[in-house]
A and B are shown apart, each in its own frame.
Chain A
Amino acid sequence: MTPAWLSRVALAVLLSAAMAAAQDAPPEVLISRQLAAEQGLTVGSIVQLAVDAEGTRARSFRVAGIYEPTPDPARLGAAPREVRLHLPDLLDLTRPPDVPAGAEYIGNINVALVDPADAAAFSRDVNARMPGVIARPSTEAAGSAGPFRVLERFHLAIAVVTIVAATVFLLALTIMLVDERRETVGILRLIGLPARRVLVQVLIEGLIVAGAGAAFGLVLALLSEGLINAFFQWRYDTALVFVRITRDVALTSAAIAVPLGASATVLASWALLRRSGLRLARR
């Protein structure tokens, strides 16, 4: 039977050996998927990181994991070669030898709150307590990102032009389709149906067709969303989402399409109904 004291010594030796081994092992880093693919690195690979191309103050690190970087639309086309280090390792690596430890500074601190709804109040509190520090909710930061606001306006302008073009074509088509039924409409007028009655009929039909068209258009948009995202994600090797159809987008599209379609039909029919029934019915 092994004496208890011997077991405790053996355990201490083992623990010491493990700690020593851990201290000798290079610090861990995460690398981006694109960097790993480009350099042929895998989990466990040992890499050298330095502050410049000459290899100044190079240190060894072990790849602990490979991650998919958050896609940056402003850097589309450029493969993100990224490395994530623990902050102390980064500070150690980048601090010039003549600068004492503790004199470094960082640019940003990200804070995850227990309740995200507290973000505005939390920011105000930090700003009041720490002069010289600017705290703001991340949604505000995203909203104040000028390029995306500008792009939003740009895309809206494109959408408006597209809707105008679609409306013009729609009018042309409805005029043709309504004209196909001129004889029927003429006969209905000749037998005594008032114009309003015919218009109501046309409106109902127009709403049904426009509704069906809007639904079909939505399905087409969802399919296109998948195709466009798949193509460009493959093309640029990115996880960026290029097209996203949200509930709001779908509802807005339907809210524009259905009244437009119904109105176009009514307008085309109204133009037709201004002529006499006899003229309409005559071949």
Chain B
Amino acid sequence: MNALAFAWRSLVRQPARAILGVLGVAAVGALLFDMLLLSQGLITSMRDLLERSGWDIRVAATELPGRSGRLTGATAMAERIAALPSAKSVLIVRTADARIERSSGRPIDATFQGVARRSREGASITPPWTVTRGRDARGSDEAVIDTTIAEAAGVDVGGRITLRASCSADREALPPARLTVVGIAEFPFAGPNEAALGGSLETLRSACGGNAADDADLLLVTSAGESRETAAAIREAVPGVHALTNDDVVGRLQQTGFTYFRQISAVLTAVTVTFAVLLISVLLTVSVNQRLGEIAALRALGFSRSRVVADVLSESALIVGLGGLLSLPLGVALASGLDRILKGMPGIPADLHFFVFEGTALAVHLGLLAATALIAALYPMRIVSSLPIAATLRNEVIG
């Protein structure tokens, strides 16, 4: 009977204790797995979101797109960028706050995105939304809305909405704008409870009373080649702007807003592993102490020191191994719940996830579990390794 089979029989001998030990490891392992998913999840998800948008460079007035500050002379700037050999297409994006009137109840607060396209002939341009029903807004006074607005306002494709835009920091009283809904769309960068609508830049400027300056919040650029080279070319062609590749944006976010989650995941990973090591070590130590007579007898029968040590290590490996396997589906379920909680944070896009499955996270998880099994077994291994056979046998008789 090898050490693993022997360990299995030792566990099965006390099924309640074994099951509880495995379940405990599963719960702790699930938490550990989730913290590993969290450590890179946000970055992975954001990178994926940025890449799925179809744009690989973001040009903004500030270091981090979305912060205050606009690009002035946006049209000329976009044309200059579109003329670069390394740029394929440019999308001018301007946003404004909008209040959509309803027949009853409070108006709906929404974000209105107005876009204008500049591209080489034949190059396709994707707007920062995905139309799921109907068609994209092309003409003036056309808009696509998200399902939040559609449901709250009771409007569908072909219907009309009335909104009042707020386009500057100053107090305004702009006339209402009536728009035709030509499509229902998903806005990947909108939060789950945020309302968003999109249309042409001309439509937005019209809603802003025709007074909006030729400025933009963002220029989205698609490269013809390597995005880093294109970004460098843009910075040279248009001094003073911040041209960030998707990697740059992710890098910036990693240093600022997202760093908290990396740190909390590191702290919780350390705490979880320590917790698991301590608990499994206590479990094994108590188990070994209860079997000292048996172990001494086995040593007297000729079992080598390495063999009895291997038995203890195998028992640890079995508890942690079985618990670790169970921790994976538990971890996925827990991650789903925790992700739902964290996505309640304001400003988080609906398509952004905090917990993203990655192969490296799984590999690290398995590695940490293996280390846990080994470290937790060290003390009980030392007990059996240094067990005084004769004294233990004597004590068993006296006891």
Contact = CB atoms under 8 A, between A and B. Distances in A.
Q: Do A and B come from one complex?
A: yes
Interface of A: 73-78, 146-147, 150-151, 153-154, 157-158, 161-162, 164-166, 168-169, 171-173, 175-177, 179-180, 228, 232, 236, 242, 271
27 contacts: A77-B259, A78-B255, A146-B344, A146-B346, A147-B345, A150-B344, A158-B268, A158-B338, A161-B30, A161-B334, A165-B28, A165-B275, A168-B20, A168-B23, A172-B16, A172-B20, A173-B282, A173-B283, A176-B14, A176-B286, A176-B287, A176-B290, A177-B286, A179-B290, A228-B267, A236-B263, A271-B16
Interface in B113-150: none
Nearest to A180: B290
Given A157-B337, A175-B17, A175-B20, A168 B260 contact: no
B41 interface: no
Contacts of B342: 150, 154
SS of A interface (majority): helix
Interface in B234-287: 255-257, 259-260, 263, 267-268, 275, 279, 282-283, 286-287
Contacts of A228: 267
Contacts of A158: 31, 268, 338
Nearest to B171: A132
A219 to B, nearest CB: 15
A188 B290 CA distance: 21
A166 B271 CA distance: 13
B21 interface: yes
How many chain B residues sit at the interface, stated as a range, is: 20 to 34
A176 B279 contact: no
B80 to A, nearest CB: 20
Q: Considering the complex of A and B, which 3 residue pairs feature the smallest CB-CB distances, nearest first?
A: A172-B20, A165-B27, A77-B259
Interface in B338-381: 338, 341-342, 344-346
Nearest to B257: A74
Interface string B325-344: 00000000010011001101
B24 interface: yes
B31 A165 contact: yes
Nearest to A73: B260
Contact of A169 (B16, B24, B267): B24
A162 B268 CA distance: 10
Contacts of A151: 345
Contacts of B260: 73-74, 76
A171 B345 contact: no
A268 to B, nearest CB: 9
Interface string B155-191: 0000000000000000000000000000000000000
A242 B279 CA distance: 25
Contacts of B21: 169, 172
| Residue of B14, B260, B268 most packed against chain A (CB within 10 A) | B260
Contacts of A168: 20, 23-24, 27
B341 A77 contact: no
A239 to B, nearest CB: 16
Contacts of A271: 16
A248 B84 CA distance: 62
B283 A147 contact: no
Contacts of B290: 176, 179-180
Given A171-B20, A179-B14, 13 more contacts: A77-B259, A146-B344, A150-B344, A153-B341, A153-B344, A161-B27, A166-B24, A168-B20, A169-B279, A172-B21, A173-B283, A173-B286, A232-B263
A73 B261 CA distance: 11
A161 B31 contact: yes
Contacts of A73: 260
Given A78-B256, A147-B345, A171-B20, A157 B338 contact: yes
A150 B283 CA distance: 36
Contacts of A242: 267
Contacts of B282: 169, 173
B16 A154 contact: no
Nearest to A271: B16
B315 to A, nearest CB: 13
Contact of A147 (B17, B28, B275, B346): B346
Contacts of B259: 76-77
A102 B284 CA distance: 75
A134 to B, nearest CB: 14
Contacts of B287: 176
Nearest to A145: B346
Nearest to A75: B256
B345 A77 contact: no
Contact of B341 (A75, A157, A162, A166): A157
Contacts of B31: 158, 161-162, 165
Contacts of B255: 77-78
Contacts of B338: 154, 157-158
Contacts of A165: 24, 27-28, 31, 275, 279
Nearest to A149: B344
Contacts of A78: 255-256
| Residue of A171, A180, A228 most packed against chain B (CB within 10 A) | A171
A175 B23 CA distance: 14
Contacts of B24: 165-166, 168-169, 172
B337 A176 contact: no
